[in-house]
Amino acid sequence: MADASPRHRSTVVRVIFLGPPGAGKGTQAARLAAHLGVPKIGTGEMLREAIAKETPLGRKAHPYMEAGNLVPDDLLVALVRERIAEPDCGHGFVLDGFPRTLPQAQGLEEMTGGDPRAWVVFDFEVPRDVLMMRLSGRRWCPRCQATYHVVNDPPERKGVCDVCGTGLVQREDDRETVVAHRLEEYAQRTFPLIEHYRTRARMVPVDGNRPMDVVFRDLLQALEVAA
């Protein structure tokens, strides 16, 4: 047997992660993709890469990112369309951060041939106060980019980077008022998407307020994949 074959059974696996910022879905998506032997497609990273490489899409997306605005649906759909046409997506993929709107979901269905019934949509649920605590407690080092959390992953010395000794800062995005706004925006934009998938795909609610390994075991179980 070829060792490059995915560990997953012969069917194509298509997994979508939905969930508010701070729900921990990025970490789980990466781990699941590695476990299944399929690529993780994260639109945030892809956008940053396209911009760095100055691809035609990257050049179009750059002004939106720079101004802190949402990148238009059609640009994101085009980006994902290019990516999933690559041969490594032949056995499927794990999507992280896409789709986030109804038009994006429709674009995805169109490019993959329509029927999302066999897809698994993990919907991460985490209480709002936990999300607030997770996000607003984040700190990072402006010099070496190491990340910390005041409660879950504090540095040895309060407010100082373990790696390089620089004073830690809070990203603008992680300030409490901005976090509240991000959560509000997520709820508003994603609600129609959840409604959309509820009847068209296999929605699996995930309690994201548990230890990472426990959450991961649930994901494997839902996919009927051995740990």
Which of residues 143 and 198 has its CB atom nearest to Zn ion in the complex?
143
Q: How far is the CB of 170 from Zn ion (least distance, A)?
A: 15
Which phi and psi angles does 12 have, rounded to 5°? -80, 135
Which of residues 143 and 181 has its CB atom nearest to Zn ion in the complex?
143
Given 34, 118, 163, 187, the residue binding Zn ion (CB under 5 A): 163
Rounded Cα distance between 69 and 165, Å, is: 33
Rounded Cα distance between 36 and 94, Å, is: 9
Q: How far is the CB of 141 from Zn ion (least distance, A)?
A: 3
Judged by CB under 5 A, the stretch of 54-62, 68-76, 87-95, 166-174 that binds Zn ion is: 166-174
Which of residues 7 and 143 has its CB atom nearest to Zn ion in the complex?
143
Which of residues 144 and 212 has its CB atom nearest to Zn ion in the complex?
144
Kindly write out the interface string for residues 70-99 of this chain, putting x where it contacts Zn ion by CB under 5 A and - elsewhere: ------------------------------
Rounded Cα distance between 51 and 58, Å, is: 4
Rounded Cα distance between 152 and 163, Å, is: 17
Amino acid at position 17, single letter: F
Q: How far is the CB of 164 from Zn ion (least distance, A)?
A: 3
Rounded Cα distance between 143 and 123, Å, is: 35
Q: How far is the CB of 104 from Zn ion (least distance, A)?
A: 36
# residues near Zn ion by CB under 5 A: 8
Residue 149: Cβ-neighbour burial (10 angstroms; 0-12, 13-18, 19+): middle
Rounded alpha-carbon distances, angstroms, from residue 152 to 27, 65, 127, 169: 15, 30, 17, 16
* Residues taking part in catalysis: 25, 100, 138, 171, 182
Q: Give how far the C-alpha of residue 113 lies from the chain's centroid of Cα atoms, to the nearest Å.
A: 23
Six-digit token string for 129: 């106060």
Rounded alpha-carbon distances, angstroms, from residue 6 to 116, 126, 219: 21, 31, 17
Q: How far is the CB of 48 from Zn ion (least distance, A)?
A: 21
By CB under 5 A, the residues from 142 to 161 that bind Zn ion are 143-144, 146, 161
Given 70, 164, 187, 212, the residue binding Zn ion (CB under 5 A): 164
Q: Any contact of residue 169 with Zn ion (CB under 5 A)?
A: no
Chain positions contacting Zn ion, by CB under 5 A:
141, 143-144, 146, 161, 163-164, 166
